[in-house]
A and B are shown apart, each in its own frame.
Chain A
């Protein structure tokens, strides 16, 4: 006799009627996502479809609600306004009045919010800000440039902060390109972290361990490599750091460098959209450093308008 006990109606009353618009909306969203990969025309069509069908759907769903918006009488204080109601036409609209209890309520909430903010904001700041402030990394001296034979890659590896241990190890692939046309020394210095998701990229070639040098804490190992590969997801780069295969979204990051007293000094890291040409004659499209996996050029770069400038591994 379950039917006798059932509470009729209440489990269907709030169900919206059947509607076809969600299907159109879903197709629009799918087109939009597909278009992000294929072409912006498809994306635009998808966006239009999604907006149109989304609006139709919203109109459909909210029809019941919109139909029965009751005319709401302005709130009045019945007792106090009873006298005024007798002569409604003559008096101008009364100024809004605040009762004592409303005032106390507002002031309690306001004070509570103020106290909460005073306590919370510094704490939130402490939680977030240390990740973004006082992180400047000094320059790194890789030793005399005589240690870098022409047109050969050297793996230069050092600890940026020796007390913090191996997690601060920085590795760069350094190639002396010889003097450029203007006579300036030219180096190609690729940062070892993959621009896909930050794994350590390895040179594809034999390392001459016998020739390993240690110059003031910087380990230098010659390697015969014309490409670099990432062990995590198969990213592959050529000798200029351009992507050849796999998931990376830009060319390998590079270090700016300077020559001081005949020493090669690493400066700041920067992101590279693409490199055309090779060695000293290469044209490098240089961008401020951004986290791995983010585009620095093309339409996708619009997704990352402002990025923190600090290098993270």
Chain B
């Protein structure tokens, strides 16, 4: 480091001092390094990127979903001007009138299928590689819950356009839930929300689709990624290298502690 000029050191200080200040109080920088800088097996391939691809699809869903929610109106009442339901009219308006609305709705609609397909491909990769085995069983279980949540997103989102396909597919879906033993009829009636599948069901599905299920999904994805980070990526079954290597310390020997400078006050 002696080679650095005085100016370089000043610049470094100006950038690193605030980061150190934050890191000392929050562990944010060391946490980020813990998350990002980890060993992966030498023989990973594109197959191991399916999880990240699914995550990317989910982020696209989340962003486009928030923006669609700015224009969509979950109401089954009849719009006096068009004579159609408000929900369907707002979908028509997003698709046909609002600038680039067709694109964002298309991303959300088709991206939903992409998300589910990627989840299945990811699941297949993990299964075929045996990556669900000790110590990654909980990662698999949270992944299955993510798949269930993804399907619930598909079920609740399908109703929202409020057209004939959406309506009758949801009638069938709700009654399908209704045939589950014991609790089924109660679940079906809760979802329907009354004597017919109408405005209450639409609002209920909208709330589930944009608030309840995404919340659960984000929490599960957080746990899933934490476990992946903590336990590391598994080697392919044909790998010649032994499994179970310890991860390197967050602050390798010889490196400066904290972010890169000073001893910090943390641990």
A313 touching B134 by the CB < 8 A rule? Answer: no
Note all chain B residues with C-beta closer than 8 A to A132.
186, 189-190
User: Which among A7, A11, A160, A232 is the interface contact of B168 at CB below 8 angstroms?
Assistant: A232
Q: How far is the CB of B125 from chain A (nearest CB, A)?
A: 20
User: Which among B178, B182, B189, B192 is the interface contact of A293 at CB below 8 angstroms?
Assistant: B178
Q: Which of A1-39 contact B (CB under 8 A)?
A: 2-3, 5-8, 10-12, 14-15
Q: How far is the CB of B75 from chain A (nearest CB, A)?
A: 11
What is the number of residues of chain A that contact chain B, defined by CB distance less than 8 Å?
41
Beyond A197-B172, A197-B175, whether A311 also contacts B195 by CB under 8 A is yes
Contact with B along A286-313 (1 / 0, CB 8 A): 0000111110000000011101101111
- The answer to the question of B245 belonging to the interface, with a C-beta cut-off of 8 Å to chain A, is yes
| Nearest 10 pairs of A and B residues by beta carbon | A293-B179, A291-B178, A303-B181, A167-B198, A307-B185, A197-B175, A6-B242, A198-B175, A313-B196, A312-B192
User: Which among A11, A128, A294 is the interface contact of B244 at CB below 8 angstroms?
Assistant: A11
Chain A residue nearest to B171 in the complex (CB): A198
Note all chain A residues with C-beta closer than 8 A to B67.
none
Cα–Cα distance between A8 and B245 once the two chains are bound (Å)? 9
- The answer to the question of A135 belonging to the interface, with a C-beta cut-off of 8 Å to chain B, is yes
Contact with A along B201-231 (1 / 0, CB 8 A): 0000000000000000000000000000000
- The answer to the question of A165 belonging to the interface, with a C-beta cut-off of 8 Å to chain B, is yes
Beyond A2-B242, A6-B245, A11-B244, whether A131 also contacts B171 by CB under 8 A is no
Q: Which of A154-172 contact B (CB under 8 A)?
A: 160, 164-165, 167-168
- The answer to the question of B76 belonging to the interface, with a C-beta cut-off of 8 Å to chain A, is yes
Cα–Cα distance between A197 and B184 once the two chains are bound (Å)? 13
Cα–Cα distance between A232 and B244 once the two chains are bound (Å)? 53
User: Which among B85, B197, B242 is the interface contact of A312 at CB below 8 angstroms?
Assistant: B197
Cα–Cα distance between A61 and B165 once the two chains are bound (Å)? 49
* Residue of B167, B178, B196 ringed by the most chain A CB atoms within 10 A: B196
A313 touching B171 by the CB < 8 A rule? Answer: yes
- The answer to the question of A125 belonging to the interface, with a C-beta cut-off of 8 Å to chain B, is no
Cα–Cα distance between A132 and B193 once the two chains are bound (Å)? 8
Note all chain B residues with C-beta closer than 8 A to A197.
171-172, 175-176, 179
Cα–Cα distance between A312 and B177 once the two chains are bound (Å)? 13
Note all chain A residues with C-beta closer than 8 A to B74.
none
Contact with A along B153-189 (1 / 0, CB 8 A): 0000000000000011001101110110110111011
Note all chain B residues with C-beta closer than 8 A to A164.
76, 196, 198-199
User: Which among A5, A128, A305, A312 is the interface contact of B246 at CB below 8 angstroms?
Assistant: A5
Chain A residue nearest to B191 in the complex (CB): A131
Q: How far is the CB of B119 from chain A (nearest CB, A)?
A: 25
Cα–Cα distance between A177 and B161 once the two chains are bound (Å)? 43
Beyond A135-B194, A198-B171, A293-B179, whether A6 also contacts B185 by CB under 8 A is no
- The answer to the question of B103 belonging to the interface, with a C-beta cut-off of 8 Å to chain A, is no
A168 touching B196 by the CB < 8 A rule? Answer: yes
A312 touching B196 by the CB < 8 A rule? Answer: yes
- The answer to the question of B135 belonging to the interface, with a C-beta cut-off of 8 Å to chain A, is yes
Note all chain A residues with C-beta closer than 8 A to B48.
none
Chain A residue nearest to B133 in the complex (CB): A15
Q: A131-B189, A164-B196 are in contact. List 14 more A-B contacts (CB 8 A).
A: A11-B243, A12-B134, A15-B134, A130-B194, A198-B172, A199-B172, A232-B168, A292-B179, A293-B179, A303-B182, A304-B182, A308-B185, A310-B195, A313-B171
Contact with B along A173-204 (1 / 0, CB 8 A): 00000000000000000000000011110000
Cα–Cα distance between A5 and B184 once the two chains are bound (Å)? 53
* Residue of B78, B176, B178 ringed by the most chain A CB atoms within 10 A: B178
B171 touching A199 by the CB < 8 A rule? Answer: yes
**A-B residue pairs in contact (CB < 8 Å), sample of 11:** A11-B134, A131-B190, A168-B195, A168-B198, A197-B171, A291-B178, A291-B185, A292-B179, A294-B178, A294-B184, A307-B186
- The answer to the question of B77 belonging to the interface, with a C-beta cut-off of 8 Å to chain A, is yes
- The answer to the question of B97 belonging to the interface, with a C-beta cut-off of 8 Å to chain A, is no
User: Which among A5, A8, A165, A311 is the interface contact of B76 at CB below 8 angstroms?
Assistant: A165
- The answer to the question of A105 belonging to the interface, with a C-beta cut-off of 8 Å to chain B, is no
Note all chain A residues with C-beta closer than 8 A to B242.
2-3, 6
Note all chain A residues with C-beta closer than 8 A to B179.
197, 291-294
Beyond A6-B244, A135-B195, whether A292 also contacts B134 by CB under 8 A is no
Note all chain B residues with C-beta closer than 8 A to A11.
134-135, 243-244
Beyond A7-B246, A167-B76, whether A2 also contacts B241 by CB under 8 A is yes
B172 touching A312 by the CB < 8 A rule? Answer: no
Note all chain A residues with C-beta closer than 8 A to B192.
131, 312-313
Cα–Cα distance between A6 and B41 once the two chains are bound (Å)? 13
- The answer to the question of A137 belonging to the interface, with a C-beta cut-off of 8 Å to chain B, is yes
A292 touching B178 by the CB < 8 A rule? Answer: yes
Note all chain A residues with C-beta closer than 8 A to B200.
130-131
Note all chain A residues with C-beta closer than 8 A to B76.
164-165, 167
Note all chain B residues with C-beta closer than 8 A to A5.
245-246
Note all chain A residues with C-beta closer than 8 A to B199.
164, 167
A304 touching B181 by the CB < 8 A rule? Answer: yes
Contact with B along A63-90 (1 / 0, CB 8 A): 0000000000000000000000000000
User: Which among A2, A128, A199, A290 is the interface contact of B185 at CB below 8 angstroms?
Assistant: A290
Q: How far is the CB of A205 from chain B (nearest CB, A)?
A: 22
